[in-house]
Amino acid sequence: MTREFDFERPIVELEKRLHDLQTLSEDGQIDLSREIKAIADKIALMKAEIFKSLEPWQYAQVARHIDRPFTLDYVKILCGDSFVELHGDRYFGDDPAMVAGFGRIGPHAVAIIGHQKGHDTDENLFRNFGMPHPEGYRKAMRIMRLAERFKKPVVVFIDTPGAFPGIGAEERGQSEAIARNLADMSRLAVPILCFVIGEGGSGGALAVGIGDRVFMLEYSIYSVISAEGCAAILWKDASRAKDAARALRLRASDLLEFGIIDQILPEPLGGAHRDPAATAATIKAVILEHLAALLPLSPEELLARRYAKFRAMGRYKVQDDAETPAKN
């Protein structure tokens, strides 16, 4: 039984009635099939209706749902037993908020990198709620370097509230770790596919987000700052997060419109957690399609295109010219 959202409550009421009717119908002699069908139809309709008109803030709630599939959930479905997890940055330690390793997806052996959240409190404490320290980013880079050496493409799952703000993280150079990944990923000579599967939290997300393709699941978000953080700074009131979420334009549809991501991957009705296998199948199909397009490219061509992709991001104007996107 998955935990439901506030905005799903009307559905939950109906689902309860449906359940009651079904029990009644099984017990007794009365034929309730027509009533049952009517309610089931109504539920489907309401669900579609509710999820069609979600507010940006509600997207953030779906994106952060504790039952939502996380990196290792997808890895399990996509790679099965072929996944070998690797640990440690070779400098300081291992960061459970970031997982990395190699596995097989369809015909391809790939490196897999991803933020890792927990499905309950204990696991979340162990995973630090998916907020990496510098050693997490350095581990990710180490595995990407291995991928480059063995000419294997890289698949990245992005799902973090952000890089961890703490004393140890600062002492060990959180800024440098993130910045270094941005620079190094921009020149990693193998294809990189990035999937925002939940929260794309600022620099902590971008630090593994320099891909030849960047995809977002339908109900994932990607933002320069969390809605709460933005509200606390600009409105001086964290409870204005709803307004901040709207202002930040953090939904997949916004990012597609801005040309920041390549494609939105549809989720099952009600969110990825309602059917992880179906979501994983969507991701797998996209991986196979885009690796087929990227693997034939020469490293020079691949890197030139990757540079041009991020180079073009930004909106500004020059003197009295009309607003223009950046030119390459």
Partner 1 sequence: MGWLDRFTGGRKPPDPTDLWKKCPKCSEILLQKDLERNLFLCGKCDHHLRMPVWDRIALLTDDNSFLEIDQEMESVDPLGFVDSAPYPERLQKAIQATDSFEAVTCGEARLDGRPILLAVMNFEFMGGSMGSVVGEKVTRLLERGLDKRFPVICVSASGGARMQEGIFSLMQMAKTAAAIARLNAAAVPYISILTDPTTGGVSASFASLGDVNIAEPDALIGFAGPRVIEQTIRQKLPEGFQKAEFLLQHGMVDMVVHRRQLKATVGRLLQLWA
Binding site for partner 1 (CB under 8 A): 163-167, 169-176, 178-180, 182-184, 186-187, 202-203, 206-207, 209-210, 222-225, 229-230, 233-235, 243-244, 247-250, 254-255, 258, 260, 306-307, 310-311, 313-319, 323, 326
Contacts of residue 27, Cβ cutoff 8 Å, sequence gap at least 6: none
> For residue 113, what is the enclosing H or E element?
strand 108-115
Contact 215, 262 (CB under 8 A): yes
Give 183 or 293: the residue with its C-beta nearer to partner 1.
183
Give 27 or 320: the residue with its C-beta nearer to partner 1.
320
Give 39 or 248: the residue with its C-beta nearer to partner 1.
248
Q: Least distance in Å: CB of 83 to partner 1?
A: 28
Q: Least distance in Å: CB of 152 to partner 1?
A: 21
Measured N-to-C along each axis, helices 241-248 and 56-63 cross at an angle, to the nearest 10 degrees, of 100
Q: Least distance in Å: CB of 22 to partner 1?
A: 46
Q: Least distance in Å: CB of 229 to partner 1?
A: 8
Give 257 or 289: the residue with its C-beta nearer to partner 1.
257
Strand-pair partners of 214: 194
Contact 83, 101 (CB under 8 A): yes
- Hey, is 290 helix, strand or coil? helix
Give 151 or 311: the residue with its C-beta nearer to partner 1.
311
Contact 190, 143 (CB under 8 A): no
Task: Please tell me the distance from the alpha carbon of residue 205 to that of residue 154, in angstroms, as a whole number.
Answer: 16
| Local structure of residue 157 (DSSP, 8 states) | E
Q: Least distance in Å: CB of 317 to partner 1?
A: 5
Give 79 or 255: the residue with its C-beta nearer to partner 1.
255
Q: Least distance in Å: CB of 304 to partner 1?
A: 11
Task: Please tell me the distance from the alpha carbon of residue 252 to that of residue 217, in angstroms, as a whole number.
Answer: 7
Q: Least distance in Å: CB of 122 to partner 1?
A: 20
- Hey, is 109 helix, strand or coil? strand
Q: Least distance in Å: CB of 261 to partner 1?
A: 9
Task: Say how many residues make up the chain.
Answer: 328
Most distant CA atoms of the chain, gap in Å: 79
Give 223 or 282: the residue with its C-beta nearer to partner 1.
223
Q: Least distance in Å: CB of 123 to partner 1?
A: 19
Give 214 or 272: the residue with its C-beta nearer to partner 1.
214
146 burial (CB, 10 Å; 0-12 / 13-18 / 19+) is middle
For CA atoms 195, 156, 177, 181, give the dihedral sign: negative
Task: Please tell me the distance from the alpha carbon of residue 21 to that of residue 134, in angstroms, as a whole number.
Answer: 55
- Hey, is 6 helix, strand or coil? helix
Give 293 or 312: the residue with its C-beta nearer to partner 1.
312
